[in-house]
Amino acid sequence: MRNAAILRRTMPPSLRQYHSANHPPSPIYTPLQHQILSKALALVPSKGFTPETLTEGAKHAGYLEITHNLFPRGPWSLVEYHLVRQREALSSVPLEEGLGVGRTIRKLCVERLKGNTEIIGQWQDVPRRIVGYS
């Protein structure tokens, strides 16, 4: 315990990893899943978070329509992929030295909200559309 406190004080903030006991680890996607989900995510602004979007994503990635069965959680897999990508994107946000905790949190929150810009028109339908998938 004492060593962890020393390590936290001596490790530069840019090297610290975020960890929460209440947050499950991010899923690991195979290259095939990543390819299909990224193509499907590009279709979300017009089609929403739907099973059909996963099917179209598979077709756009050059795979058969049935390939969307790689995602047994259906459209929730697409929602989760969006959230994971946005969380990962926050690690590349440049933070100024001496900004302070409050301003740093504000900057990260604003950047995270900007990540929803393209899908915001579909976001409110997520709970309704993923009912039955878990």
* Residue-wise pLDDT tens digits, 72-102: 888 889 988 988 888 888 888 888 888 888 9
Residue 14 covered by a domain:
no
Residue 12 covered by a domain:
no
Residue 38 covered by a domain:
yes
Determine the average pLDDT of the residues in 122-133: 66
**Structure confidence at residue 24 (pLDDT):** 66
pTM summary value = 0.70
Residue 10 covered by a domain:
no
Any idea which of 9-13, 23-27, 40-44 has the lowest mean pLDDT? 9-13
Residue 20 covered by a domain:
no
Range of the domain at 107: 28-129
Please give the sequence-ordered ranges of beta strands (E in DSSP) within 6-108, or none if there are none. Answer: none
Number of domains the chain contains: 1
Structure tokens that stand for 119 in this block: 């899908």
Residue 4 covered by a domain:
no
Residue 18 covered by a domain:
no
Residue 107 covered by a domain:
yes
Residue with tokens 């959230």: 83
Contact 9, 26 (CB under 8 A): no
